[in-house]
Amino acid sequence: MFDHAPSSDHSLLQDPAFAATLRALGQTPLHLPNGQMLLSRRLCGIPVLMLPRATPPPDLNAQLKHLNLHRRPLILSPEDPCALPRAIRLRKPQTRALLDLSPDRETRRAALHGKWRNALRKAERASLKIRRTALPPDPDHPLLRAETAQAHKRRYGNWPSPLTAMFASVAPKQTVLFTALKGRRQLAQCLFLRHGAQATYHIGHTTDAGRAFAAHTLLIWTAANWLADQGTHTLDLGLIDPTNPGLTRFKLRTGATLHPTGGTWLHWSPLARTSPP
């Protein structure tokens, strides 16, 4: 079990609970001397390292050499644009929607887009009940089954259900499930994963009735308020999908702003060139 540390500031994939989850699933994450986690994978049969969602340290090569890993290809994918060692770009930066939770509730509500605020009022008038729990650590949980089916239908990638369920088992205080109900009928659910002073919207699912009552809007608003009260300063609403403008509008109308990632890079001496700052 992990005690949540709201004062720290790091990505979900660099959280100690994520490393513990991988170990519980039989994997062996590595760690640089500065504590950042490395993953070891094989791509096309070639062993490579990955430094997921982290700014590489200035002495990265020295730290790799300390672990005798300096000859291995290393894939870098920093959360934010940053200075990099010599590398070649594999993928251009993507864009995340980040919601600042540091303003007070009234200020954040005033920052909502008018249409988003109207949907929120509609949901509030519907007298929906909101329930907050941890996610049961069951890979066959209905929300995880719904997410698997939805991801397959819409052709997007997300964590496999066993990975999410194991995270819930390892770090139950860091998984927060919000459920909207009308009477006894479940309308929608949203799962958030906490990591340091940040939280990530992980998965969600709604029904036709949930859409009619704008239940998803109320869940996001309720979760944002609760997370803010717990000391969370940023809610990551996920990557922007250019092929889904409706979802992009929904995210940005919460008051979220766009932030580029640092892209994806291959750091390996024989193929490297100087990357831009």
pLDDT digits (tens, 9 = 90+) for 231-277: 999 999 999 999 999 999 999 999 999 999 999 999 986 665 444 44
**pLDDT tens digits, 170-219:** 999 999 999 999 999 999 999 999 999 999 999 999 999 999 999 999 99
79 and 115 co-located in one domain:
no
* Residue 6, domain member (yes or no): no
Are 149 and 222 in the same domain? Answer: yes
Q: Are residues 85 and 150 in the same domain?
A: no
- Give long-range contacts, CB 8 A cutoff, 24+ apart: 149-152: 150/205
Quickly count: other Cβ atoms within 10 Å of residue 222's Cβ.
19
CATH assignment of the domain containing 120: 3.40.630.30
- Number of residues that make up the chain: 277
Does residue 130 belong to any structural domain of this protein?
yes
Domain co-membership, 110 together with 205: yes
| Residue 122 and residue 235 in one domain | yes
Q: Are the C-beta atoms of residues 172 and 1 closer than 8 Å to each other?
A: yes
Report which residue type is found at 133. T
- Closest to 139 (Cα-Cα) out of 14, 267, 257, 25: 25
For 203, the domain range is 96-260
Is residue 36 a part of any domain in this protein?
A: yes
Q: Compute the radius of gyration of the chain from its Cα atoms.
A: 20
Same-domain status, 149 and 72: no
Write the pLDDT tens digit of every residue in 126-149. Answer: 999 999 999 999 999 999 999 999
Q: Are residues 136 and 83 in the same domain?
A: no
Residue 11 lies in a domain: no
Q: Do both 43 and 150 map to the same domain? A: no
Asked if residue 89 is part of any domain, the answer here is yes
Are the C-beta atoms of residues 175 and 133 closer than 8 Å to each other? no
Number of domains in the chain: 2
Compute the Cα dihedral for 220, 223, 228, 234 and give only its sign. Answer: negative
The encoded tokens of residue 117 equal 């605020």
Q: How many CB atoms lie within 10 A of CB 40?
A: 14
The two tokens of residue 32 are 């640089």
